[in-house]
Chain A
Amino acid sequence: MKKIILALLVVTAFAFTSSRGDGDKIPASIVKKLDGTKVNTNTFSNGGKPIIISFWATWCKPCKKELDAIQENYADWTKETGVKLIAISIDDARSAGKVVTDVKSKGWEYEVYIDENSDFKRAMNVNNVPHTFLVDGSGKIVWSHNSYTEGDEDALYENVKKLAKGEALSH
């Protein structure tokens, strides 16, 4: 019976879905800027240029390695493609106070938001961090990647360059 209900729900949901999967707009959620101001995630934009959205946490080593690695070339990346990185911290109250100190002491020049009770994380279907998304110039989510290993930032930048030129992406 329960399975029938689930099946019913899934079918219903799919039945009136014309387009699904990649290519959707950023869903609406409220996140906080480092100064406490609330921002709706559906207003994220970069004047027609690509956006990288990176979910991270202050206790997540691979996340910080990835953001450190990108920071080293971030000035070049923005100059060449106009890309902007939005870093979403999923830290809860235990470590949310550490977000601003980590960001500043590491010298990250990203746009940073705190998703304190994981509303945006759930809306984007992120479970483990790091999880990285690419948003194209028209605001559509076109690519995502879970986990970080050394050198992933180079593969990410190849995709950013393609996006900036308006080419299609592959995983």
Chain B
Amino acid sequence: MLNSYFKSSVTAAFLLTFILNAFNINAQSIADEANSVHGYFQIDAQYYKPDTLIGAPPVPEKMLSNAFGNINYTKGKFSAGVRYEAYNNVMQGFDTRYKGQGITNRFARYQDQLLDITIGNIYEQFGSGLIFRTYYEPGLLFDNSLDGIRVISNPVRGLTLKGLVGKQRSFFTVGPGIVRGFDGELNINEALDSLAKNIKTKVILGGSFVSKNQSSQNPDFVMPENVGAYGGRMNIMRGGFNFFAEYAQKENDPSAANYASIGGKNYYSYQQGDAMFLSTSYATKGFSILLQAKRIDNMSFRSDRDATLQNLLINFLPATTKQHTYLMPAFSPYATQPTGEVGGMAEIQFKVPKGSALGGKYGMDITLNASQANLLKPININDSTTTSKLYRTNYEEAGSELYHDFFIEITKKFSKKFKGTFMFANQFNNINIVQHNTPKGPYKNVLANIEVIDLTYKYKGNSAIRMELQGMQRDNSDTLNLGSWVVGLIEWTPNTHIFVAAIDQYNYGNPVASLRLHYVYFSAGYTSGPHRISLSYGKQRAGIFCVGGVCRVVPASNGFAISITSSF
């Protein structure tokens, strides 16, 4: 497995070296252009202590580490890059199929006004990604890059055409399926150029087609070897108004992740998939309103029909819920349900002006946000053929509630030295489906009230002390969901280089008295320009963790950790 990817790495590496050298010797046209080499390194290592109370398992290796380095070379219109990744062994909370080390990404690219060609690992997105998006998120170890060829062309002003073909990265190899895609986008105002100068309404139209191919030897089912997906999108803007709509359809795609659940058992569904995403907003200075709606049915689209979890996804289905970074509101985050969901979000933001009674000397920012997601309401189809769609849905009806989040946030500066953020949220989460994908699982639904106070005091120019106090009240009789919490955080930044922080997460409401534990965690770091080193010690819960000005996703653990990042 590793070998096949490695062979292609070697081929590409030689190709790349050859191209680079060819340019070095022959390409006089760009010989005068300045060279540049840039890179980024990140090393994370943790020493683990087993902790049966918080559920941190013993780690046989004692210490685990994740590391990667990117190096990019640019000379005029030419660029190339490699990424080396090493997992010895991969840290807790990540997929253990990240094992060992190697070159996981390499590309060469030439771009000018007319053509932009890339070979190697490609990151691309069509529209909002409903049928195609490849991207890299090192904090989550998510990388579904397309290893292949991409051509982008702008034949006339305002028109962008993209075509690509390849296979997707899967850990240290590539997935079995071939992915082919085409996208066109037309910015009508740009295309009309001078004619459209006085037209205030701006319109952008786009359309795309993506198809995957994977052979099948399944003796029981006729699996489609080619699955196509197509989508169209439209963006209309005028003044402060912005309207975006995208709709996509996918042909029948029975796969491990596209199933229908009947009587507690999962079956392949030959149902087509479809997805709709609408976003409309109005914004003016000091006031904005945003409305989003989304409906997804059977839209897990992967280049391997047996892939599950986050592996080999071709498309991206954005969650239309608020993305929280404070610990408690982010405790039970929402995840899009590709098999079927309908939901939406409304957000109003405004600034209470300076000088008003409420706004005071510096003004005050207020955000109101409400989001909700529900299941679809599947209607079973009585069809016992091997290519049954199993169910159908309609647009009028929604199923039971999966998640809601209503919140208000107020940010106010009281004086030159003192400012604060205050937040209240009410959240509902169907933990069984949203987090464990088991409709009949053992978890109870969670309803929580959450409060956050975040105060910053600045002194002596660039020194500051920041304090957070958070509370989350939940049903305390529910043993699996751990009950209620309170969090205290203090962070001291004596100057722009150093930070020191301590945090205590206290599970005071745990239904089991002996598990009412304090999760205490200390961290300190040093930043100098693009270089940063941080050390931490203590117990951590899983979640998005933001300290010292940087947010990252960190798994649960107990022990000592070091993180070094550097770019040049």
Contact = CB atoms under 8 A, between A and B. Distances in A.
Interface string B134-170: 0110110000000000000000000010000000000
Interface stretch (B52-60, B208-216, B265-273, B460-468): B460-468
A131 B139 CA distance: 16
A10 B39 CA distance: 11
A165 interface: no
Given A13-B71, A152-B496, A127 B82 contact: no
A118 B129 CA distance: 13
B442 interface: no
Contacts, number: 244
A28 B78 CA distance: 10
A20 B240 CA distance: 43
Contacts of B441: none
Given A117-B123, A123-B72, A147-B527, A13 B37 contact: yes
Contact of B323 (A2, A59, A171): A59
A150 B111 CA distance: 40
B323 A95 contact: yes
Contacts of B388: none
A101 B281 contact: yes
B204 A36 contact: yes
A3 to B, nearest CB: 9
A16 B529 contact: no
Contacts of A124: 38
Contacts of A16: 20-21, 24, 35
Contact of A117 (B135, B288, B464, B532): B135
Given A98-B290, A126-B567, A2 B9 contact: yes
Interface in A73-130: 92-98, 100-107, 116-119, 122-130
A168 interface: no
Contact of B549 (A2, A12, A62, A100): A62
A104 B546 contact: no
B445 to A, nearest CB: 24
Contacts of B567: 125-127, 144, 146
Interface in B23-59: 24, 34-40, 42
B135 A38 contact: no
Given A12-B21, A98-B290, A127 B202 contact: no
Nearest to B281: A101
A20 B160 contact: no
A36 B420 CA distance: 34
Interface in B525-558: 527-532, 546, 548-552
Contact of A21 (B190, B325, B568): B568
A101 B527 contact: no
Contact of A130 (B125, B287, B532, B549): B549
B37 A17 contact: yes
Interface stretch (B218-226, B314-322, B429-437): B314-322
B261 interface: no
Contacts of A122: 70, 72, 123, 136
Q: Point out which of B287, B456, B529 has the most chain A C-beta atoms below 10 A from its C-beta.
A: B529
A17 to B, nearest CB: 4
Interface string B267-284: 000000000010101011
B176 interface: no
Nearest to A72: B362
B568 A151 contact: no
B285 A149 contact: no
B18 to A, nearest CB: 10
Nearest to B460: A151
A2 B565 contact: no
A101 B42 contact: no
B478 interface: no
B365 interface: yes
Contacts of A38: 160, 187
A12 B20 contact: yes
A119 B111 CA distance: 13
Contacts of A6: 82, 84, 103
Interface in A1-19: 1-2, 5-6, 8-10, 12-14, 16-19
B72 A9 contact: no
Interface in B298-342: 316, 318-320, 323-326
Nearest to A118: B135
Interface of B: 6, 9-10, 13, 16-17, 20-21, 24, 34-40, 42, 70-74, 77, 79-80, 82, 84, 101-103, 106, 111, 123-125, 127-129, 133, 135-136, 138-139, 160, 187, 190, 202, 204, 235, 237, 240, 242, 244, 277, 279, 281, 283-290, 292, 316, 318-320, 323-326, 347, 349-351, 362, 365, 456, 458, 461-464, 466, 493, 495-496, 499, 527-532, 546, 548-552, 565, 567-568
Q: Which 5 A-B pairs have the closest CB atoms?
A: A151-B462, A150-B464, A104-B283, A94-B318, A93-B128
19 contacts: A5-B103, A12-B17, A13-B73, A16-B21, A21-B568, A27-B79, A59-B551, A60-B551, A61-B325, A100-B281, A104-B286, A117-B135, A118-B123, A126-B567, A128-B552, A145-B529, A149-B496, A150-B463, A150-B493
